[in-house]
Amino acid sequence: MNIRSDLVDAHDRVWRSISQAGTWLTAEQRVAVLQASRSALICVLCGERKSALSPNAVQGVHEGVTSILSREAIDVVHKLVTDPGRITRAWVNGCLANGLTDAEYVEIAGLTSAIMVVDTFHAALGLPLRDVPVPRSGEPARNRPTTARKEDSYVPMIPQDGLQGDYSNLYDLSSRFVPNVHRAFSLVPEATRCADDLMASHYFPYEQVPAYTDADHDYAINKVQMELLASRVSIRNDCFY
Amino acid sequence: MGGEQANREIDISVVATGEGSGGVEHGRALIEFVDAVIALVPEEIHAAREKLKNAIGVAGVVDAAAVLAMFQLNTRAADAAGIAIDDRTIEIRDQVGIALGFESRPEGIAP
């Protein structure tokens, strides 16, 4: 099967980033997030919670527990993979109260979501999943954007007028519209850049989504078909946004 | 309820019901592909992919896989961060929500 090179290149960059220290997580922890995201798919506890009316009432131990990640970190990965539509403010606050920082939570969520893109693409095309990378040496950057602020969201985000320094180009301000989904992971700008990279090759850049027409791309499916796919994924994931 | 794009009527209720094509070219095959991939059953994915390939070709299947994979991230970004719906989309969302039944959630908000 002939896969566009821009897709393969984007996946390569995601995989390379997994093996490197992130903003708050070590390379070992990021690789463990990948392993946890795959373990979640066969996790008995997640299956029971998914089918329960009150998922938080179901207690137990997740599949693939490792000492490299905290219990809360593993819970975030598994929840995000298996039941993202039932993430609530109270649940997020519980994760933060139990030791995760908001920035660690965002990095884990961003990384898990990026992994889902690559693994889902491979599963969809019947391709073998990429190998788990070997973690490289290095320390997390630990740089928190000073202009990120709490809005109505569960975690702080960088506002449209808060770009500066090494994240001055995080959004495309030539567009008047920066969608909130683009800002979702901005507490960890590298997570946003990873999502940007994937969007550019898999769909359209965030700020350009509303304006794109079929005259602006050379994909083999049209924009109406793309919107149908996107909407169906959203509803299957119970995503209100 | 219909939506109009590219000068033709589209039945957006197909997004929720998964039935029919909604007036979208090969819409039924696209929905079956999404459903199979989300369910992650290899045999169903294979069958749905072959059906889609016969309809739109290999390049179309690759692009369809890319879009659906991308929205695995976008939906999770929205849910993980608990972002608000963008102001400009609220009015449209309300119209769509009525058609698809989203407004039936308690207080009309995300869980």
- pLDDT, tens digit (0-9, with 9 covering 90-100), for A82-131: 999 999 999 999 999 999 999 999 999 999 999 999 999 999 999 999 99
Q: Per-residue DSSP letters for B5-47?
A: ETTEEEETTHHHH--S-TTSTTHHHHHHHHHHHHHT-HHHHHH
Contact with chain B for residue A195, Cβ under 8 A? yes
What would the pLDDT profile of B59-73 be if each residue is shown by its tens digit? 999 999 999 999 999
CB-CB under 8 Å, B68 with A229: yes
B110 belongs to a structural domain: no
B27-39 and A102-124 helices, crossing angle to 10°: 120
Q: Give B-chain residues touching A239 at CB under 8 angstroms.
A: 74-75, 78-79
- Residue A10's CB: how many other CB atoms inside 10 A? 23
Residue A91: which of B107, B84, B110, B69 has the closest Cα? B110
CB A62 within 8 A of CB A45: yes
What are A144-153's contacts with CB under 8 Å, separation 24+?
A144/A103, A144/A187, A145/A186, A145/A187, A145/A189, A148/A186, A148/A187, A151/B84, A152/B82, A152/B84, A153/A180, A153/A184, A153/B81, A153/B82, A153/B83, A153/B84
Please tell me the distance from the alpha carbon of residue A189 to that of residue A166, in angstroms, as a whole number.
9
Q: What is the pLDDT of residue B85?
A: 86
Residue span of the structural domain in which B63 resides = 2-101
Tokens of A92: 């997020």
> Between A41, A92, A235, which is nearest B40 by CB?
A41
What is the structure's pLDDT at A112?
A: 98
On whether residue B108 sits in a domain, the answer given is no
From chain A, pick out residues whose CB is under 8 angstroms from the CB of B78: 180-181, 184, 239-241
B111 part of a folded domain: no
Instruction: For chains A and B, count residue pairs whose Cβ atoms are closer than 8 Å.
Output: 230
Residue of B nearest to A199 (CA): B70
For the stretch B20-67, pLDDT in tens is 767 889 999 999 999 999 999 999 999 999 999 999 999 999 999 999
Count of domains forming chain B: 1
Low pLDDT (below 50) residues in chain A: none
All residues at 6 or more sequence positions from A162 whose CB lies less than 8 Å from its CB, including other chains: A145, A147, A148, A149
Residue A60 contacts B, CB cutoff 8 Å = no
* Residue the block writes with tokens 């954007």: A145
Higher pLDDT pick, B108 / B74 = B74
What are the helix and strand counts (H, E) for chain B?
A: 4, 2
B72 lies in a domain?
Answer: yes
**Smallest Cα–Cα separation from B44: which of B32, B29, B54, B56?**
B32
Is there a domain that residue B78 lies in?
yes
Q: Which of residues 13-52 of A touch B (CB under 8 A)?
A: 41
- Please report which confidence band the pLDDT of residue B110 belongs to, taking 50, 70 and 90 as the band edges: low
- Residue B39: inside a domain: yes
Residue B95 pLDDT level (bands cut at 50, 70, 90): confident
- Structural tokens at position A22: 């992130």
The token pair that represents A52 in the structure block: 């329960």
Give domain status of residue B106, yes or no. no
- Min Cα–Cα distance to chain A from B10, Å: 9
